[in-house]
Amino acid sequence: MSDATSNPIPEPTAGVDGDLAARAAQLDAEDGLGKLRERFTLPDGVVYLDGNSLGALPAAVPDAMSDVVRRQWGELLIRSWDESDWWTAPERIGDRIAPLVGAAPGQIAVGDSTSVNLFKALVGAARLAAPGRTRMLVDATTFPTDGYIAASAARMTGLEIVPVDPSGAAERMTADTAVVLLNHVDYRTGRLHDLPALTRAAHAAGALVVWDLCHSAGALPVGLDAHGVDLAVGCTYKYLNGGPGAPAYLYVAARHQDGFDSPLPGWNSHAEPFAMTPEYEPARGAARARVGTPDILSMLALESALGVWEGVDVADVRAKSLALTDFFLECVAAYVPAGKVEAVTPAGHAERGSQVSLRCGNAREVMAELIARGVVGDFRAPDVLRFGFTPLYVGFADAERAARTLGHIFG
């Protein structure tokens, strides 16, 4: 590896470097979403391609949080549950997320972690399933926590876990299948799975489907209502830029809400939470998915962060995402010596999320040097470099510089 201090990345020169840099500048000049970068606070000189792990800071959040802490908490104190409308935050913010995932209002509650929401979704789906079904199909390539939670939910509901590759999951859905858990985008490779077709297949088998949207919400259209999804979960600290540890969300389709039996019935999801009765009566609508007291500070940081989506069409975000990842792959092919990296993200647009994953030797060391040179992506064991493209603040010049830096490391 070269030393980042003694051997800095040169500016683009004539030839391939200059041509690609010039194209990047032209593409940025024509980018209708380019002005949205002003809505974020980003360090100078850094190409940030890890928004699929932690989104950048929306510029409005610090002032909003100052008001939450100093005035709402500091001055109004307990009165803010009513006067600042803290109590309705889980459903109110859920309704702001809803259009980003193709859902009508009243179907999303924000709160808890993705893992907790997934547990609620899987157990709730199993309790909604037709009697006599014995299997829970689980994406074999899923983020590990999903597998851990699914195994626990299966033990609780008496179902058998059946790992499946999403590409062949439809063939494994039978009359014995109660619930299917799938990831919309594979976190390691960036592969986009066919949500509409797999949802149809699950329903044709009489099963319910739960989708994990962590790596798709805010990066591409999801269409939960249009495609008849039963339940879905997702985090808000990636493409939704809600901040580290921001609360996750749970979508329960309106048609299932009256029958949704949460395994975590808390006082916040009670029909009369302040009656303090020993008997539990679930609330109606999305509030049924709540559990305990909302985490107000991070909840309201997320609400402010969602302001960056004002006037933004997710279809435009998807178009730019595909253009960015196409251009990055072109630049990698031009700058990186043949045989040094291998793309594991599908080339086809229908199968690509908003990231590019490259396999290479010494991947951990390569990523460390990229970060030292101001290109921030991340490493996934054992050999994957992962680059997330968040169209709201990543431009084509960022993609070109990242690829050129990678090429310089291998040069």
Domain boundary among 234, 263, 293: 293
Residue 344 falls inside a structural domain: yes
For range 127-142, the mean pLDDT: 97
The helix or strand, by DSSP H or E, that contains position 358, with its residue range, turns out to be strand 355-359
Residue 82 falls inside a structural domain: no
Residue 392 falls inside a structural domain: yes
For range 211-232, the mean pLDDT: 98
* Confidence check: pLDDT of 231 > 80: yes
Q: Could you tell me the residue range of the domain that residue 248 belongs to?
A: 88-293
Q: Measured between alpha carbons, how far is 12 from 404 in angstroms, rounded to an integer?
A: 8
pTM for the structure as a whole: 0.95
* Confidence check: pLDDT of 14 > 90: no
Question: 5 is written with which tokens?
Answer: 């201090």
Pairing of strands 47-48, 378-380: unpaired
Supply the pLDDT for residue 60: 98
Asked if residue 382 has a cis previous peptide bond (ω within 30° of 0), the answer is: yes
Predicted confidence band of residue 3 (pLDDT cuts 50, 70, 90): very low
Residue 301 falls inside a structural domain: no
Residue 11 falls inside a structural domain: no
CATH of the domain at 147: 3.40.640.10
* Confidence check: pLDDT of 24 > 50: yes
Quick one: DSSP state of residue 202?
Answer: H
Residue 258 falls inside a structural domain: yes
Supply the pLDDT for residue 411: 86
Residues 248 and 118 in one domain: yes
Residues 289 and 317 in one domain: no
CATH of the domain at 400: 3.90.1150.10
What is the per-residue pLDDT across 324-372, written as a single tens digit (0 to 9) for each? 999 999 999 999 999 999 999 999 999 999 999 999 999 999 999 999 9
Q: Measured between alpha carbons, how far is 290 from 112 in angstroms, rounded to an integer?
A: 8
Supply the pLDDT for residue 144: 95
Residues 129 and 29 in one domain: no
Q: Tell me what percent of the residues of the chain surpass a pLDDT of 90.
A: 95
* Confidence check: pLDDT of 16 > 80: no
* Confidence check: pLDDT of 15 > 90: no
CA distances from 131 to 127, 134, 185, 198 (A): 9, 9, 31, 22
What is the per-residue pLDDT across 159-217, written as a single tens digit (0 to 9) for each? 999 999 999 999 999 999 999 999 999 999 999 999 999 999 999 999 999 999 999 99
What torsion do the CA atoms of 271, 273, 279, 280 make, to the nearest 10 degrees?
A: 50
Residues 136 and 249 in one domain: yes
**What's the total number of domains in the chain?**
2
Per DSSP, the residues of 184-235 read: SB-TTT-BBP-HHHHHHHHHHTT-EEEEE-TTTTTTS---TTTTT--EEEE-
Supply the pLDDT for residue 10: 61
Residues 103 and 191 in one domain: yes
Predicted confidence band of residue 5 (pLDDT cuts 50, 70, 90): very low
Predicted confidence band of residue 4 (pLDDT cuts 50, 70, 90): very low
Residues with active-site annotation? 143, 212, 237-238, 386
Q: Are 409 and 369 in contact (CB under 8 A)?
A: yes
Supply the pLDDT for residue 18: 82
What is the per-residue pLDDT across 107-117, written as a single tens digit (0 to 9) for each? 999 999 999 99
Q: Tell me what percent of the residues of the chain surpass a pLDDT of 70.
A: 96
Residue 73 falls inside a structural domain: no
Residues 53 and 110 in one domain: no
Domain boundary among 239, 261, 293: 293
Residue tagged 């194209």 (tokens)? 23
Supply the pLDDT for residue 288: 97
Residue 243, sorted as left (phi over 0), alpha (psi -120 to 50) or beta, turns out to be left
Residues 123 and 228 in one domain: yes
Who wins on pLDDT, 46 or 17? 46
Residue tagged 């009489």 (tokens)? 206
For range 245-257, the mean pLDDT: 98
Supply the pLDDT for residue 13: 65
What is the per-residue pLDDT across 258-276, written as a single tens digit (0 to 9) for each? 999 999 999 999 999 999 9
Supply the pLDDT for residue 9: 56
Please, what is the average pLDDT of the chain?
96
Supply the pLDDT for residue 8: 57
Residues 286 and 316 in one domain: no
